[in-house]
Structure 1
Amino acid sequence: MPVSDALVSLVRMTPSAPAAAADTRAAERRLHLLSCNILAGGSVRRYRDYVTHSWKQVLPTGKRANLDGLARVIGDFDLVGLQEADAGSLRSGFLNQTQYLAEAADFPYWSHQPNRRVSRLATSSNGLLARWQPDEVLDYPLPGRIPGRGALWARFGSGADALVVLVAHLSLGPAARARQLAFLAELIGQHPNAVLMGDLNTSAQGKELDLLYTRTSLVRPKESPATFPSWRPTRAIDHILVSDSIEVERRWALPHPVSDHLPIAASVRWPKSLRALTA
């Protein structure tokens, strides 16, 4: 599905608290990024939990306490991308988890993109928490045989100096991922300052992402911390990818008991020409 045929919608970036003045990190052109598949606030500590604790996936038991713990971690970051955040259903106690995390961690702005709803039992969405107000936020459905995947697109600033941030959660199947990666490549294009973060369900070093690296300004990372499964991570499938104009000082996985994925973090420096976050 080409971008021109996508059902794109404008997403409101909701203020959750008064916006704070630019902090020291902005003055130093440093940005702290985090991406996390939060499994709707659930926790898994071994493979058999998927079966023996399956009832927890449809009930809110323990999820708010897990989110409170996560909020204490994400408060140190500037932009946070969420995947598998519940938008308000039975399994979350009808709580919009993106909004809850934004308010608990004192993020001035948040937005979410509900992608899949199973009656009143469960919803799944991407989310973005930000210290700065974006100039535009868009909601794109991703192509796939089974609907329910999406990309949340945000722009900070305008023109060539803008920063474009995408949050996405890709399919498990390689054929669907290939179509989704082609779609993301079209969304990003040759924009010089771009960030893609999310659960991509594939390695950043493999051939699947070559299409992104050849068609966009994104570059292959030098290191890819393992994030899955959270209790003994062996697979690097959660990523923060940036354009070659953005210097990555460090990438690392954060140990945390929420979800079956570890959050992935990155500390980056943006180019002097990029004024989107300091204006």
Structure 2
Amino acid sequence: MAQQAYMTETDNGGSGPEHRGPRIRRLLDRLVTGWRGDRRIWRRGLFTAAVAVLLAVAMAAHAHIPNAVGNLGSLTETFLPWLGLVVPVLLAVALLRRSVTALIAVLLPAIVWLNLFGGLFADKTAPGGDLTVATHNVNADNADPAGTARAVAASGADVLALEELKASAVPTYEGALASTYRYHAVVGTVGLWSKYPMSDVDAVDIRLGWKRAMRATVATPAGPVAVYVAHLPSVRVKLEAGFTARQRDKSADALGEAIADEPLDRKILLGDLNGTMNDRALNAITSQLRSTQGAAGDGFGFSWPAAFPLARIDQILVTGVEPQTSWTLPATGSDHLPVAARVRVDTSVS
């Protein structure tokens, strides 16, 4: 039996097969039909327009959202990039409602979002660099510590920081990384592995009562670099208390003080800060250092959770060295993604 073709009337009065093109055009025609001569296009969609304006204000003035109730300001800043997803929803509603007022209003949050984050999608990577660094929260419950260690070492990192090291798993990490890194030190639940000599290794007091931060001087071929490794306390989102991060905030302030007192000009901070660069609670740190992802990365570089990354809380922050490129590494057995960066320590070479 011959396949029956769906037919439609053609311009010359005959018939022919129906194509997708006319269907799309008809759909567009339906969306815009009736706009001309409709005086209500300015009065419809006022609620949608109001939501768009509020969204624009929230993104533009996020630093002024108070933390007094449930740390709402920090919570907003942690997931600030995702507010951009509301823009296409509002655009669709404005079109369906046939509201010019709403369409104009939707431009406001779109412009604000592009101003905040559009630069992240520009190609900022540069060739060269003389030091590759990486950091990874390996997860205390990681079922394959040896495989995780080998996977991160395969990134080519000259200096590697690991966080959330379980004491019983440390020998496994040490064994898996021994052939790649001649020097290493573990302080509490954080560790640093290096291809270059390390000295002045010591814990950094971040006011926790146990050790989750350290500092070392790494003697790179281009000169000494102060390398900090930190795992700041976790934050929680609770219905009754909102975004709880008091201990994280105190530890961030303490870490910021330690970095400010650092005598070396070249400083690199590697670790899980349990916060994004937008989070005001990390100002004591982020006011002194810049993100390699923001300076030389491509996109947001989200690192957590590994299954569906929503935020970049694993950071590589620097001062006194020049970021060349920054990237996220493939998933391991952890719930975090590793992140890496290539920097230029010898800044006299352009």
Kindly tell me the number of residue pairs found equivalent between the two proteins.
203
Matches within 5 A, 1:158-237: 162-173=224-235, 174-189=245-260, 191-214=264-287, 216=288, 218-221=289-292, 222=294, 224-237=300-313
Give yes or no for the alignment of 1:34 onto 2:134. Answer: yes
Residue 162 of structure 2 corresponds to 82
For residue 96 of structure 1, report the CA deviation from its aligned partner.
2.0
Q: How far apart, CA to CA, are the structure 2 residues paired with 1:253 and 1:127? A: 20
Letter in 2 for 1:229: P
Unmatched tracts of structure 2, length 5 or more: 1-127, 236-244
For residue 241 of structure 1, report the CA deviation from its aligned partner.
0.3
Residues 110, 84 of structure 1: CA spacing in aligned structure 2 closer, same or farther, 3 A cutoff? same
Residue 196 of structure 2 corresponds to 132
CA root-mean-square deviation = 2.4
SS at match of 2:301: coil
Q: How far apart, CA to CA, are the structure 1 residues paired with 2:205 and 2:196? A: 25
For residue 178 of structure 1, report the CA deviation from its aligned partner.
1.9
Unmatched tracts of structure 1, length 5 or more: 1-27, 43-61, 115-124, 275-279
For residue 72 of structure 1, report the CA deviation from its aligned partner.
4.0
Q: TM-score, normalised by structure 1?
A: 0.66
Letter in 2 for 1:154: A
Residue 315 of structure 2 corresponds to 239
Does the Cα contact within 8 Å between 1:41 and 1:85 map onto a contact in 2?
no
Q: How far apart, CA to CA, are the structure 2 residues paired with 1:227 and 1:97? A: 24
Residues 232, 213 of structure 1: CA spacing in aligned structure 2 closer, same or farther, 3 A cutoff? closer
For residue 98 of structure 1, report the CA deviation from its aligned partner.
3.7
Does the Cα contact within 8 Å between 1:35 and 1:197 map onto a contact in 2?
yes
Larger radius of gyration: 2
Candidates 324, 338, 347, aligned match of 1:249: 324
For residue 272 of structure 1, report the CA deviation from its aligned partner.
4.3
Q: TM-score, normalised by structure 2?
A: 0.53
Q: How far apart, CA to CA, are the structure 2 residues paired with 1:83 and 1:130? A: 15
Does the Cα contact within 8 Å between 2:253 and 2:282 map onto a contact in 1?
no
Tell me the alpha carbon deviations over residues 188-219 of structure 1, each in whole angstroms, 9 at most, x when there is no partner: 116421001101000012212222233x3x12
For residue 271 of structure 1, report the CA deviation from its aligned partner.
2.6
Which structure is higher in helix share? 2
For residue 172 of structure 1, report the CA deviation from its aligned partner.
1.7
Which structure is richer in relative contact order (CA contacts within 8 A, separation 6 or more)?
Answer: 1
Residues 153, 269 of structure 1: CA spacing in aligned structure 2 closer, same or farther, 3 A cutoff? same
Residues 204, 165 of structure 1: CA spacing in aligned structure 2 closer, same or farther, 3 A cutoff? same
For residue 187 of structure 1, report the CA deviation from its aligned partner.
1.4
For residue 71 of structure 1, report the CA deviation from its aligned partner.
0.9
Tell me the alpha carbon deviations over residues 92-131 of structure 1, each in whole angstroms, 9 at most, x when there is no partner: 4xx524412321x5210111012xxxxxxxxxx1010000
SS at match of 2:343: strand
Which runs of structure 1 show a deviation greater than 4 angstroms over 4 or more consecutive aligned residues?
A: none
Q: How far apart, CA to CA, are the structure 1 residues paired with 2:277 and 2:211? A: 20
Residue 109 of structure 1 corresponds to 183
Q: How far apart, CA to CA, are the structure 2 residues paired with 1:153 and 1:239? A: 16
SS at match of 1:209: helix
Does the Cα contact within 8 Å between 2:196 and 2:219 map onto a contact in 1?
no
For residue 73 of structure 1, report the CA deviation from its aligned partner.
3.5
Q: How far apart, CA to CA, are the structure 2 residues paired with 1:41 and 1:225? A: 24
For residue 233 of structure 1, report the CA deviation from its aligned partner.
0.8
For residue 182 of structure 1, report the CA deviation from its aligned partner.
1.7
Residues 78, 251 of structure 1: CA spacing in aligned structure 2 closer, same or farther, 3 A cutoff? same
